[in-house]
Amino acid sequence: MNRADDIFAALVEAHRGLDEEESLRLDARLILLLANEVGDGDRVLALIEEAHASRGVPNDAPVSGSSEG
Amino acid sequence: MKAATTPSRVNPVYPFRKPDDFDGRERHYPVCVVGAGPVGLAAAIDLKLRGVDVLLVDEGDTVSAGSRLICLAKRSLEIFARLGIGAELAAKGVVWNRGKVFHGDDLVYAFDLLPEEGHRWPAFINIQQYYVEEYLVDRARSLGIDLRWKTRLTGTEDQGDGVRAQVSTPEGGYSFTCDWLLACDGVRSTVRGGLDLPFRGQSFPDRFLIADVRMKAEFPAERRFWFDPPFHAGRSALLHKQPDDIWRIDLQLGPDADPEEEARPERVLPRIRAMIGPDTPFDLEWVSVYTFRCRRLERFRHGRIFFLGDAAHQVSPFGARGGNGGIQDADNLAWKLAETMAGRAGAALLDSYEAERIPAADENILNSSRSTDFMTPVGGAAEALRDSALSLSRTHAFARSFVNSGRLSTPALLAGSPLSTADEPECADFSGPMRPGAAAVDAPFGKGWWLDRLDGGFELLHFTDEGGTGPERCAGLPVHCARSEGQLASRYDGRPGTTWLFRPDQHVAARWRSLDPALVGAALDRARGRP
């Protein structure tokens, strides 16, 4: 993923100062735009499923990739 | 909930006549249809046209009190044309193919449900349910169907080889037996209630005001749907044109609306006034306040009792999938019963009613639930997604696909039907939407229309290269020969040799690239549920 830190920072920045409802709407617009960019409906449905399935993963669970140390 | 309204039309009254059944001798009828709504009348007429004697009972003595089902979809029009009321519908109904979806003041998109020529029937005709029922009753009477009004079914008893039914009338009750009983008695089906069958599904909390308004207005004959219109802020509205200068207005009221209060003229009139503007005089013809439910019976057949239409399944009105789905139920079952009673079918044929119509009902429930969910989002995230789809749709064409104001009724595809013959490998090159299970699509044919040729039996369509001539019969079935060019050929991918087998309900049973009596015979057996 190129520009990952830029993207993450931009997402956080876009939500800054928004109330809860405004944030929900920003996310919703973004999700629909991204879904369109993905293009393939099956792939979008799989990603929704993946996001839903991982909702119980605790924040401090080990993640794939290398850790510092 | 009824408001003070001023109906412009007086419905016909069909008087109770005391039948001979009161003489104490219990009679037997081949088929009893319960409920003289559009579905029951369609089933009774279809059976009678196929040579089956029908007793039709209804607890009322007239047609629908309000306009109710107003949008007859193309498939329903094709079915009703086959049943013999096409001319009446065409003369009276309001034809429409187009719709518009607005958000606030702005047009979000327009659509055309039938953007091509060469079909006898349009995408939709709007007509009040009472007219449809009146035409069907007249047709049923002209066919000699035994129609009994003020005759309420009070009980059924499955006797294994038949059903014993009790009815009550203004002059007392009587009982009779029948081979088959068709429950077409609506959402509050007494047949279903008598058998204590669960009718489960989803309820939607929002209330909707449905009003018929009589006025001279210049809106075009198209479906108009608004999200958050200026005249009804924060909610949705729907407008349809009906015959006789009557307009259907459907306004979302929200979950907290008081149904009694909202049906009062002092509440209704300002809402209508806000919508149509200050200058147009109007009268209220009919008003009702609804909530919607989507639910169905687990099984549509219980022994010798079949459930059709709203007695079997209920949907929200968005998409016009209730009545049009029910009419397809009748279309699906009538020929199967007739073939069975004539001894031409295997047991699997009647079983296929559920195999074909339960998935169709589920498709209608799914679509109408999704439309209602889109209109009445529950929770902040659902509302944010809905509103985002609407606002994006103004600037991004892709987002219009998400905007759901009702996915309008289309004929069930009957995918995976046990009556369909799977394509041979040589059929892999077929293109277009027609396939086994699909309802036949119309096209010009000779001096008329293709679907008018499919008038109730198993029939073959065979494409040839020279002048459209060929064999007149194959495997005992009539063969319609056609040239392999023109609209019919293009809609059925007709090349020289291409052959389609149609069922009595005009759905495709099988297709080939050649005409082979052995293959036709095998497909015919399969389509009749014979092992």
B228-274: pLDDT as tens digits = 999 999 999 999 999 999 999 999 999 999 999 999 999 999 999 99
CA distance A36 to B399: 8
pLDDT of residue A56: 75
DSSP string of B170-233?
A: TTEEEEEEEEEEEE---TT-HHHHHTT--EEEEEEEEEEEEEEEE------SSEEEEES-TTST
* Domain assignment present for A5: no
Do B181 and B318 belong together in one domain?
A: yes
Please give the structure tokens belonging to residue B12: 């016909």
Residue-wise pLDDT tens digits, B287-332: 999 999 999 999 999 999 999 999 999 999 999 999 999 999 999 9
Residue B123's nearest CA partner among B362, B440, B411 is: B411
* Domain assignment present for A35: yes
* Domain assignment present for B354: no
CA distance B224 to B102: 8
pLDDT band with cut points at 50, 70 and 90 for residue B66 = confident
Cβ of B388 within 8 Å of Cβ of A21? The answer is no
**Total number of domains in chain B:** 2
HSE, side-chain direction, 13 A CA sphere, residue B172: 9
At B275, the amino acid letter reads M
Q: How distant is the Cα of B421 from the closest Cα of chain A, in angstroms?
A: 29
**Integer CA distances (angstroms), B255 to B207, B291, B378, in order:** 6, 9, 10
| Host domain of residue A27 | 11-54
Query: Looking at the partner chain, which of B384, B399, B402 has a beta carbon nearest the beta carbon of A25?
Result: B384
pLDDT of residue A61: 53
**Integer CA distances (angstroms), B261 to B67, B204, B255, B387, B439, in order:** 22, 19, 14, 29, 45
| B29-66 CB burial, b ≥16 within 10 A, e <16 | bbbbbbbbbbbbbbbbbbbbbbebebbbbbbbbbbbeb
Q: Is pLDDT of B1 > 50?
A: no
* Domain assignment present for B410: no
Which residues, including other chains, have CB under 8 Å from residue A47's CB and lie 6 or more apart? Answer: A38
Which residue from B minimizes the CA distance to A36?
A: B398
Do B45 and B185 belong together in one domain?
A: yes
Residues of A in contact with B380 (CB under 8 A): 20-21, 24
* Domain assignment present for B387: no
Do B129 and B32 belong together in one domain?
A: yes
CA distance B243 to B252: 24
Q: What are phi and psi of B488, to 5 degrees?
A: -60, -45
Q: Three-state DSSP class for B157?
A: strand
DSSP string of B59-70?
A: SSSBS-SS----
**Total number of domains in chain A:** 1
Q: Three-state DSSP class for B120?
A: coil
| Host domain of residue B128 | 20-92+113-198+299-347
Residue-wise pLDDT tens digits, B124-175: 999 999 999 999 999 999 999 999 999 999 999 999 999 999 999 999 999 9
Cβ atoms of B438 and B507 closer than 8 Å: yes
Q: Is pLDDT of B426 > 60?
A: yes
* Domain assignment present for B126: yes
Q: Write out the residues of chain A at the interface with chain B, using a CB-CB cutoff of 8 A.
A: 20-21, 24-25, 27-29, 31-33, 36
pLDDT of residue A60: 56
Cβ of B392 within 8 Å of Cβ of A20? The answer is no
Provide, rounded to the nearest whole percent, the portion of chain B with pLDDT above 70: 98
* Domain assignment present for A63: no
Cβ atoms of B364 and B409 closer than 8 Å: yes
Across the strands, what pairs with B287? B211
Q: What is the 8-class DSSP label of residue B433?
A: S
Query: Looking at the partner chain, which of B380, B396, B402 has a beta carbon nearest the beta carbon of A21?
Result: B380
Residues of B in contact with A33 (CB under 8 A): 392, 396
Do B447 and B325 belong together in one domain?
A: no
CA distance B157 to B2: 36
> Which ranges of chain A have pLDDT less than 50?
69
pLDDT of residue B418: 97
pLDDT of residue A59: 64
Which of A25, A31, A34, A38 would you mutate first to test chain B, the one with the most B CBs within 10 A? A25
| B155 burial type by CB count under 10 A (0-12 exposed, 13-18 middle, 19+ buried) | middle
Average pLDDT, chain B: 95
Pairing between β-strand B508-512 and β-strand B499-502 as defined by DSSP bridges: antiparallel
Cβ of B387 within 8 Å of Cβ of A28? The answer is yes
CA distance B211 to B223: 15
* Domain assignment present for B211: no
Which residue from B minimizes the CA distance to A20?
A: B380
The H or E element that residue B448 is part of is strand B448-449
Please give the structure tokens belonging to residue B339: 């073939």
Q: How distant is the Cα of A59 from the closest Cα of chain B, in angstroms?
A: 22
Q: Is pLDDT of B424 > 80?
A: yes
Whose tokens are 């149904």? That residue is B259
Do B182 and B319 belong together in one domain?
A: yes
Do B42 and B132 belong together in one domain?
A: yes
Residues of B in contact with A29 (CB under 8 A): 388, 391-392
Cβ atoms of B224 and B102 closer than 8 Å: yes
* Domain assignment present for B120: yes
Cβ atoms of B353 and B337 closer than 8 Å: no
Q: Which of these three, B347, B367, B382, is where a domain ends?
A: B347
Do B336 and B429 belong together in one domain?
A: no
Residue B252's nearest CA partner among B274, B269, B229 is: B229
User: Which CATH number goes with the domain that contains B172?
Assistant: 3.50.50.60
Do B339 and B459 belong together in one domain?
A: no
pLDDT of residue B531: 85
Which of B378, B383, B386, B388 would you mutate first to test chain A, the one with the most A CBs within 10 A? B388
pLDDT of residue B384: 97
To 5 degrees, how large is the angle CA B117–CA B119–CA B121? 125
Q: What is the 8-class DSSP label of residue B169?
A: E
* Domain assignment present for B456: yes
* Domain assignment present for B39: yes
Do B442 and B318 belong together in one domain?
A: no
**Integer CA distances (angstroms), B380 to A13, B124, B202, B383, in order:** 21, 36, 20, 5
* Domain assignment present for A28: yes
CA distance B41 to B171: 24
Residue B254's nearest CA partner among B318, B202, B207 is: B207
User: Which CATH number goes with the domain that contains B516?
Assistant: 3.40.30.120
pLDDT band with cut points at 50, 70 and 90 for residue B360 = very high
Q: Which of residues 391-430 of B touch A (CB under 8 A)?
A: 391-392, 396, 398-399, 402
Q: Is pLDDT of B489 > 90?
A: yes
* Domain assignment present for A59: no
Do B135 and B30 belong together in one domain?
A: yes
Do B51 and B173 belong together in one domain?
A: yes
pLDDT of residue A8: 97
pLDDT of residue A69: 45
Residue B455's nearest CA partner among B50, B56, B113 is: B50
Mean pLDDT of B71-94: 98
Do B438 and B342 belong together in one domain?
A: no
